[in-house]
Structure 1
């Protein structure tokens, strides 16, 4: 039953939140599994919880990869946000979409030559994730590689949970508002997302240019919309990410 599953998932998030208030940088994983064959979640449609997590993170730093046996989703954060990455891992592990091995710190050379410490993990590969790949990517004209796009199905899957994941993944506090750097998408796609925020949640936001070449954009959520946004996503925001809401989340 979808409602029962969603209620159980909500309780899992609340359990994590309560534990985090007591012991920081902790996570809850209710089982121990390291192999996909130990699960049967490849049977049947994807539920709204897993779709919300993936769609919210795909607006940020996550990406999908098409492989021979299907598609997998990879999640990544800098080590300074390790609490969030562990939280995200615990959600996916408890839903049975990745192994329960704790992500470890890796080093990565950034474009400006800076050495970064990152945490990364991926889901197992699923044929059911192929739909997500088709929604989020198109083939380049040269037929070499793919281009990330903004899917129209986002209207269905931009749930309060997806919004919370996107904020924790890629949102930045700016004065009394919130901003998102949108590095992959065209202006028309960013406009679609901004209009969707208003259509679904009455959240007002402005599109701003983020570089001199006008190829990247920022979505800035108005201060007047922050109390409403905070109320919508508050059940899912972990303690270490509440700073992004200033005093709107107590």
Structure 2
């Protein structure tokens, strides 16, 4: 029996989807449904506080698109947009005119340097799709998956990682490619995909037990050789209430609003200006510090300063790739904290990283962290602070702060990048200024980073 229009609409729940299936004009279909007195079956759905918080987290932190959240909750995209607006969330726009042209040029430069769409989207608080569409259609930059080539050894490494229980998503995240790209190269090696449906109920009961004992879905997946999404799917199917993503490191919830020591605050501020990355969450924000393997001791020094504010995962080993080569890295995250959220609010504004509001708070330890992250000294005794990610104005303010507070002789200079045909600002520290710099930060620089002090460390 042929289904009626009312039955089809209730079945698919979306005018857009139904218009595509029937091959009719969307507006005409909308008017016809309205004439029949039909509205979306989910448009008046009620959401509790936890649902709204999850929506906010997915949209603001995970950078999920509205349609992805709508699919998760089984509702229309417009309802998700409406509910997010009601709780004060600013909806991202796909209109590229929201940013000045310089921002889009920065997107292109970052993408050429190896940053993924998701990396760029997270930094500028837009969806991954917005970045992809703009770079591909407006700036004619093809998707990296169509031109990014790795050495044969890297593809073999993917096979080894997959056979040792890494998921496609995990491998893709490490090498900044899509999971489908990983799957394609595994297939070329004759490696069969794991299905995630080959276990009996005893195994799934074990997953439930492990999850209730505070194992993460990623840890369970690694042990059983499946993806974390398979674990999440089966736990949900068994009726297990999933922990929110921000709870993975909230085994110390009392630290969310705890007061940090001055040293810990300076570590956050110095890292926010240096190599650290701040991630906003529904509850607080957290700091991630990542360094190459050779700077493991330096990262351990930072962990010591963080103390109990280090996330339970501790020091994590990972890998990254560039030019077909694989490099070992280590990183550590803090637990979410409201002070870190304050710093995030001050530094991540309008899609740009701005430091002018935290410069006055930079003290000796914070400067030491910034120098160890981004400073260098040359053979002549002068120094160079790589602050090219910040505006000329912010560089001027930082240089003025170094001169007034620490009596460090320095000034803002620029260097020309021939490849990108662009001038970048940096802070030049004179020979006399470096003597002042060493005097200020020497006692805070760990042994593993003393090379950053040159001859003055002796």
Scaled by the length of structure 2, the TM-score of the pair is 0.42
1:136 aligns with 2:347: yes
Q: What does residue 139 of structure 2 align with? A: none
Aligned to 1:239: 447
Instruction: Give secondary structure in 1 for the equivalent of 2:331.
Output: strand
Which residue of structure 2 lines up, in the alignment, with residue 118 of structure 1? 329
Checking the alignment, whether the CA contact within 8 Å between 2:356 and 2:397 is kept in structure 1 is no
Cα distance in 1 for partners of 2:252, 2:258 equals 16
**SS of structure 2 residue aligned to 1:152:** coil
The aligned counterpart of 1:107 is: 319
Alignment of 1:117-196 (within 5 A): 117-140=328-351, 147-156=352-361, 158-175=362-379, 176-196=381-401
Give the Å deviation of 1:114.
4.4
Is the strand fraction higher in 1 or 2? 1
| Contiguous gaps of at least 5 residues in structure 1 | 1-33, 141-146
1:87 is displaced (CA, Å) by 1.2
Q: CA RMSD in A?
A: 2.2
Q: Counterpart of 1:65?
A: 279
Partner of 1:97: 309
Does residue 297 of structure 2 align to residue 83 of structure 1?
yes
Q: Which has the larger radius of gyration?
A: 2
- CA deviations on 1:170-211 (whole Å, 9 max, x unpaired) are 212222122121132111111111111001111111322232
Q: For 1:151 and 1:47, how far apart are their aligned partners in 2?
A: 22
Bigger proportion of residues as helix: 2
The aligned residue for residue 23 of structure 1 is none
1:11-50 maps to which residues of 2 (within 5 A)?
36-38=250-252, 40-50=254-264
SS at 1:182's partner residue? coil
SS of the residue corresponding to residue 216 of structure 1 reads strand
Q: Report SS of the residue matched to 2:422.
A: coil
- Distance, in Å, in 2 between the alignment partners of 1:199 and 1:164 is 17
CA distance in 1, matches of 2:276, 2:249: 22
**1:46 CA displacement:** 3.5
Q: CA deviation at 1:219?
A: 1.4
Given that 1:86 and 1:102 are in contact with CA atoms closer than 8 Å, whether structure 2 keeps it comes out as no
TM-superposed deviation, 1:37: 4.0
Name the CA distance, whole Å, in 1 between partners of 2:258 and 2:315. 28
Distance in 2 of aligned mates of 1:114 and 1:188: 37
1:55-84: per-residue Cα shift (whole Å, max 9, x none)? Answer: 111111111111222211110111121111
Partner in structure 1 of residue 438 of structure 2 = 230
Any conservation in 2 of the 1:186–1:215 contact (CA below 8 Å)?
no
Aligned to 1:19: none
**Unpaired segments ≥5 residues, structure 2:** 1-247
Q: CA separation in 1, counterparts of 2:324 and 2:425?
A: 23
Partner residue of 1:214 out of 422, 428, 435: 422
Q: Distance in 1 between matches of 2:261 and 2:439?
A: 24
Q: Is the 8 A contact 1:74 1:121 kept in 2?
A: yes
The DSSP-based 3-state class of the residue aligned with 1:89 is helix
Report the Cα offset of residue 115 of structure 1: 3.0
Corresponding residue SS for 1:247: helix
Alignment length (residue pairs):
207
Shift in Å, 1:226: 1.8
